[in-house]
Amino acid sequence: MNKDNWIQLQTICSHYQLEISFFTNLRDLGLIEIEIIEESLYINENQMHNLERIIRLHHELEVNPEGIDVVFNLLQKIEHLQKELATAKNRLRLYES
């Protein structure tokens, strides 16, 4: 597999000073995906945005991974509702003079 866009988990662990178990726990909860390439663990670059959010919520607000999962689900709902609201507002323009 091409390793472009993949970041070795070890690099991420040392950067954030976190144990590998922190990330495997996130994977077990379905919050991130970890790939094995040539016997090393990797995370795709496109997951970094979420991963950093997870780390911040964990460090800064002391939310545990299960709590983060709940937060993410609720944020997703909010996002969905906001999209719906934007669509409804756009439709409302139809009736405004």
Q: CB under 8 Å to 12, separation ≥6 — which residues?
A: 18, 23, 43, 51
Task: Tell me which of 2, 30, 39, 46 binds other proteins, using CB under 8 A.
Answer: 46
Provide Rg for the chain, Cα atoms.
18
Q: What is the DSSP letter of 42?
A: E
Which span (19-27, 28-36, 89-97) binds other proteins, by CB under 8 A? 89-97
Q: What is the strand order of the sheet 6-8 is part of?
A: 6-8, 40-44, 35-37
Residues of span 59-88 touching other proteins by CB under 8 A? 59-62, 71, 75, 79, 86-87
Interacting residue ranges for other proteins, rule: CB under 8 A: 5, 7, 11-12, 15-17, 45-46, 48-49, 52-53, 55-57, 59-62, 71, 75, 79, 86-87, 89-91, 93-94
